[in-house]
Amino acid sequence: MKLLHIDSSALGANSVTRELSAAVVARWQDAVPGLAVEYRDLDAEPIPHLTGRSLAKADPAEAADAERTIQQFLDADVIVIGSPMYNFGISSTLKAWIDRVAVAGRSFRYTETGPEGLAKGKRVIVASGRGGIHTDAPSDFQEPYLRQVLGFLGIDEVEFVRAEGVAYSPQHRSDALAGAHASIRTPTPLRLAA
C-alpha cells in the first residue's frame, strides 16, 4: 500500500497543517505494516505554475517532473494533504500540484454523458488549517474546492482533519489543534479493505 504525503504550508515549523498531516501519516504507519510513504513538500520544492510552455512540454525537465507528479498521484492508495487556507482558498503551491494531477485522459476524461473521474479507489485525508472560522460558511473556498476537484477525479472518500480559528488567540490555537488531533481516525481493517 502506498501513501503520498503532501505539505503546502509556508509557515515551516509554526505550521498547523504540517503538524496535523504528520500526525495523520504516523497513524497510518502504525496501522499498516510496510506502508510505503512518499513525501512532497510543495513549499520547499514548489511546482511551477502551469503555463502554455508547460502544456507544450517546451521544457523537458519540467515535463519530466510533471510526469513524475501525475504518476506519483495515480500510484498512491492514500493521500494526506496539508492544506492551509490562504486568502479564502488553498495555497497557490497546492493549486500548482492540482494543476499537474488533474490531467485529461489520465485522472479524468470527458465522455458523451459527461466527465468521469479515473483516479477511483483512493482515500484522501486533508489536514486543514484556517486562521478564522469558516466551516459551512460562504467564505470557505478551500475545503469545498478540494472536495469538488478530488471528486471530479473520482475520489469520493475525502476526510478533513481541521484546526480553525487558530489566529483568534493562543488558546484558540491550542484548543483547535487538540480537537483536530483528537479527530484523527485510526484506519480500521474495514476501511483498509474497502
Ligand X SMILES: Cc1cc2nc3c(=O)[nH]c(=O)nc-3n(C[C@H](O)[C@H](O)[C@H](O)COP(=O)(O)O)c2cc1C
Contacts to ligand X by CB under 6 A: 9, 11, 15-18, 84-88, 129-132, 166-167
Shortest approach of ligand X to residue 13 CB, angstroms? 10
- Pick the closer one to ligand X by CB: 17 or 69: 17
User: CA 163 to CA 166: how far, in whole Å?
Assistant: 7
- Pick the closer one to ligand X by CB: 118 or 184: 184
Read off φ and ψ for residue 164, nearest 5 degrees.
-130, 165
Shortest approach of ligand X to residue 82 CB, angstroms? 6
CB-CB contact of 133 with 162 (8 Å): no
Cell of 67: 510526469
User: CA 58 to CA 37: how far, in whole Å?
Assistant: 31
User: CA 61 to CA 114: how far, in whole Å?
Assistant: 34
- Pick the closer one to ligand X by CB: 39 or 110: 39
Shortest approach of ligand X to residue 56 CB, angstroms? 31
Shortest approach of ligand X to residue 170 CB, angstroms? 13
- Pick the closer one to ligand X by CB: 95 or 108: 95
What residues are paired with 161 via a beta bridge?
127
